[in-house]
């Protein structure tokens, strides 16, 4: 038996596990929409497992992703160039869920 989860339930689950701050509101909205889209595309419902999501997905700044994965940014002249270089790297190696309005990238970190 599966239980339907709306966005408020999703947020509450992260609060209950004290994991809300790992993502924040905007990044969790992107992650929630990404999961819902994956469910629609595959026709398979997913279980809500906050710890698993925290282990497999991250929300980081462009600079943090570049540092964590040693992405060469030496030829990037603008912030937009840096964002595109990081997104290109992530798209090639994993899945990008989306980017918040403040530039935080939500992605699958299970390479």
pLDDT for residue 111: 74
Start-to-end C-alpha separation, the chain: 31
Domain that holds residue 84: 7-108
| Euclidean distance between CA atoms 25 and 92, whole angstroms | 26
pLDDT for residue 1: 53
Residue 84 inside a domain? The answer is: yes
Residue 16 inside a domain? The answer is: yes
Instruction: Give the number of domains in the chain.
Output: 1
Residue 2 inside a domain? The answer is: no
Give pLDDT tens digits for 12-30. Answer: 999 999 999 999 999 999 9
pLDDT of 3 strictly over 90:
no
Mean pLDDT of the chain: 95
Residue 1 inside a domain? The answer is: no
pLDDT for residue 4: 86
């Amino acid at each position: 038996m599966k239980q339907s989860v709306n966005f408020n339930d999703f947020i509450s689950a992260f609060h209950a596990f004290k994991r809300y701050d790992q993502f924040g509101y905007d990044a969790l909205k992107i992650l929630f929409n990404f999961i819902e889209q994956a469910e629609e595309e595959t026709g398979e419902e997913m279980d809500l497992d906050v710890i698993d999501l925290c282990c497999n997905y991250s929300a980081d700044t462009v600079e943090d992703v570049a540092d964590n994965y040693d992405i060469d940014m030496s030829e990037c002249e603008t912030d937009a160039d840096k964002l595109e270089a990081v997104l290109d790297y992530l798209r090639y190696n994993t899945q990008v869920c989306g980017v918040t309005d403040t530039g935080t990238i939500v992605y699958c970190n299970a390479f």
